[in-house]
Structure 1
Amino acid sequence: MAIEFRLNGETVTLDVEPDMPLLWAIREKAGLTGTKFGCGIALCGACTVHLDGTPVRSCSLPVETVAGSDVTTIEGGSGTAFAAIQTAWRELDVVQCGYCQSGQIMSAAALLTENPEPSDADIDDAMSGNLCRCATYHRIRKAIHRASDLMKETADA
């Protein structure tokens, strides 16, 4: 079955089974491997993408449900929040093994887009579904605060 949607700003038509998880359609059919497979049951967050601007777990989302929608993967992330997050992640050396980071970044970008000055509680709530085997949670939280500061600096410039 042909499923049409916008992937990172480009209209794509993928010939896939309608119940194929979006994750596998993105990775295997569209060739974008930045979105990772973690648990397969939408609990770890490694597969997080944005669906019409909202973070979702792509491993358990049938591709047919995104027909006509906008899907953004880590490869397509752009804008002020993404730029600030990338800078903060590098400055604070957030990544250890890196496997979970695309999902972490996608969730953080959604948070900062919605709430550019989050509290620790806001960050903990928004990031609670993203697991990190290396336990870099304190660096992730610090980097989200730093990204918020960078966004303010950019806006003030």
Structure 2
Amino acid sequence: MQVTMTVNGVEVTREIEGRLLLVHFLRDVLGLTGTHWGCDTSNCGTCVVWLDGEPVKSCTVLAAMAGGHQVRTVEDLADGAELDPVQQGFMQCHGLQCGFCTPGMMMTARALLDRNPDPTEAEIREAISGQICRCTGYATIVRSVRWAAVHEAAAAARVTETTESPDAGEIADAGQPAGSVA
């Protein structure tokens, strides 16, 4: 059968078997190997991608079911050479050891931060509860997500401050002559 979907912003059409799982379509057909395949039973969560903006375990979705939909993988988190804050957080706080669960964890974390820009530790743990990490004990993953949340908030504040701060002409127009000291 033929399937067409948008993957990471690019429309793709391929001829596939009806029983092909989305994880295998991404990895084997499209060559997007950032999405890992761990269990085929939806237990581990290493294969999490977004389907129409919602995290899903791609080992539980047939590629045919994704036809006509938007799929986003870990390869799409970075903006060119600029890493997503979640990716930066995983680097800064050592949120990975072997790296096998990392793509799924990052996709889940990005979805959480898009919904809730300031999650508590408990909210982060709940969001990643459907995923298994056999190496880290989750503490560094939680710290990585918090790092991303804090740094995104700080970056947003800097942008707001820059766009809202008055320039020298506005200060002079506010009652003080330019160059005078109040």
When normalised by structure 2's length, the TM-score is 0.82
User: 1:67-102, CA deviations, whole angstroms, 9 ceiling, x for partnerless residues?
Assistant: 1110001111247xx711111111112211111100
Contact 2:3–2:63 (8 Å) recurs in 1: yes
What's 1:26 paired with? 26
Contact 1:32–1:75 (8 Å) recurs in 2: yes
Q: Which runs of 5+ in 2 are unaligned?
A: 159-182
Q: Distance in 2 between matches of 1:28 and 1:107?
A: 22
Q: Distance in 2 between matches of 1:78 and 1:23?
A: 20
Q: Distance in 2 between matches of 1:136 and 1:13?
A: 40
Q: Distance in 1 between matches of 2:35 and 2:8?
A: 13
- Across the aligned residues of Structure 1 and Structure 2, the Cα RMSD in angstroms comes to 1.2
What's 1:107 paired with? 108
- After superposition, where does 1:1-157 map in structure 2 within 5 Å? 1-78=1-78, 83-157=84-158
One-letter code aligned to 2:5 = F
Paired residue total: 155
Q: Distance in 2 between matches of 1:124 and 1:53?
A: 20
Q: Quote the sequence identity (%).
A: 36
Q: Where does structure 1 differ by over 4 angstroms across 4 or more consecutive aligned residues? A: none
**DSSP-derived class of the 2:60 partner:** coil
One-letter code aligned to 1:14 = R
Q: Which has the larger radius of gyration?
A: 2
